[in-house]
Amino acid sequence: MLAAKFFDDQYYNNAYYAKIGGVAPLELNNLEVEFLFMNSFTLFVTTDTYMQYYQELCNHFMNVELRSCSCNPSSSARCRKPLLPHITTTTNNTTTEVSTQQQQSQQQQSQQQ
């Protein structure tokens, strides 16, 4: 929500975010103000910092997904499903990206055939 407000000229109001987030608007407003004060109203992060946190989150959720999988057939479909819609993996200084847009395009093409 704050990222949208920081980067976009037009964004949804807090009442909308509260409704889709399942919290009261007053609570969301208080959380927003508390977050801003905790971060000294500094919302900009460098690309390196962003990528560091992004990679740590990806690694964390990949590990969670692997731990929750078992070898029985009923869980195999769940284990193959990507946990995150956009994953970047880095190996030997080579980066491979799979984006949601690419996946959606491939799904649409297969549905049309």
How many structural domains compose the chain? Answer: 2
Q: Are 57 and 100 members of one domain?
A: yes
pTM value?
A: 0.49
Question: DSSP assignment, residue 99?
Answer: -
pLDDT computed for residue 68 by the predictor: 64
**Around Cβ 53, how many Cβ atoms within 10 Å?**
10
In a shared domain, residues 51 and 12: no
- pLDDT tens by residue, 10-32: 999 999 999 999 999 999 999 99
One domain, residues 12 and 58 = no
Q: Are residues 52 and 29 in the same domain?
A: no
Pairwise CA distance, residues 103 & 106, whole Å: 5
Supply the range of the domain harboring residue 85.
47-112
Same domain, 52 and 20: no
